Amino acid sequence: MTDQHPFDAAIQLSNDSEGIWSGHSSPAYANMVGAFGGIVAATLLNSVMLDTRRTGTPVSQTVNFCTGLGAGPFKIETKLQRAGKYTQHWNTELSQGDTMIATSSIVMGARGETFSHQPTPAPDVAPAADIAPMSGKLPLEWINRYDYRFVNGGIESIGIPKTPLGDSQTRVWIADNPPRPLDYLSLAALADCFFLRLLQIRGTMEPMGTVTLTTHFLATEEELTAQGSAHLLGIVDSNRMHNQFHDQTMQMFGTSGKILAAGTQLVWYRQ
């Protein structure tokens, strides 16, 4: 037994040779099929963070989920496509045997102190400490790895169709459970923690899954360190759901009111 956080255990990699990594999927982050997408994103980001060629800190990641990550070992192959003065462009692939599980493009950036401006204000909501955690053991194991405190748009019941359709927006305080100091790796996973808007709007659990996830890391490393293990405020919404695909936008605010990350994902649904 060690006191390693389950997140760190799940994203752990061993280096086989330059750009080749081995890992093992973790039951602690199991999803309905395969693993939670956020842990796949964080693991792919980790393969670049650990690389000795890496310079700068993450500014952007897109993950394409080809199929679910199964139980057992996996390989990651990384390629540094271009390294310039201000950015590094990486491509990564996660596979199990001959099956491509996920691919990801990752951009590292050299950040320097300069112009700063946040057009999007922090919403005025009750602090996480004043809101009860989402209760009850949920059927998806990975959800138990997070502490959800809904400001609005929480899951009231699953399986009862909403008439009229629900509001698409959710505002929720969220943190690793057990608490873990925030870094780019956990932020990459938190970006995928929000329940799919199709469920929020319809109230029923249709077959659905994230196809691609894009996260922009807008915070410096110092800001993440200052955030520590405090809850982040996430705001998620959708622009449109049409003929089996919908988008889902996301912003995550730190307790300072600064936006630490923002992004969007595309979700497939069957009906």
Compute the least distance from the CB of residue 137 to its own copies, in Å. 29
Question: Of 64 and 177, which has the nearer Cβ to its own copies?
Answer: 64
DSSP one-letter code for 162: -
What is the distance between the alpha carbons of residues 208 and 190, in angstroms, rounded to a whole number?
19
Question: Of 155 and 218, which has the nearer Cβ to its own copies?
Answer: 218
Compute the least distance from the CB of residue 249 to its own copies, in Å. 7
Question: Of 15 and 64, which has the nearer Cβ to its own copies?
Answer: 64
User: What does DSSP say about strands 241-242 and 208-217: parallel, antiparallel, or unpaired?
Assistant: unpaired
Question: Of 6 and 58, which has the nearer Cβ to its own copies?
Answer: 58
Compute the least distance from the CB of residue 144 to its own copies, in Å. 29
Question: Of 229 and 244, which has the nearer Cβ to its own copies?
Answer: 244
Compute the least distance from the CB of residue 250 to its own copies, in Å. 10
Compute the least distance from the CB of residue 8 to its own copies, in Å. 27
User: What does DSSP say about strands 259-269 and 73-83: parallel, antiparallel, or unpaired?
Assistant: unpaired
User: What does DSSP say about strands 208-217 and 232-237: parallel, antiparallel, or unpaired?
Assistant: unpaired
Cis peptide before 6 (omega within 30 of 0): no
Compute the least distance from the CB of residue 121 to its own copies, in Å. 10
Radius of gyration, CA atoms only, the chain: 18
What is the distance between the alpha carbons of residues 256 and 122, in angstroms, rounded to a whole number?
9
Compute the least distance from the CB of residue 258 to its own copies, in Å. 7
Question: Of 42 and 94, which has the nearer Cβ to its own copies?
Answer: 94
Question: Of 86 and 130, which has the nearer Cβ to its own copies?
Answer: 86
b/e per residue 22-50 (b: at least 16 CB within 10 A): ebebbebbbbeebbbbbbbbbbbbbbbbe
Instruction: Note whether 6 and 28 are within 8 A (CB).
Output: yes
Residues that bind its own copies (CB under 8 A): 59-60, 62, 64, 66-67, 81-82, 84, 86-87, 89, 91, 93, 99-100, 103, 105, 107, 109-120, 165, 167-169, 197-198, 201-202, 211-212, 214, 216, 218-220, 237-247, 249, 251, 258-259, 262-264, 266, 268-271
What is the distance between the alpha carbons of residues 263 and 217, in angstroms, rounded to a whole number?
9
b/e per residue 94-125 (b: at least 16 CB within 10 A): bbbeeeebbbbbbbbeeeeeeeeeeeeebeeb
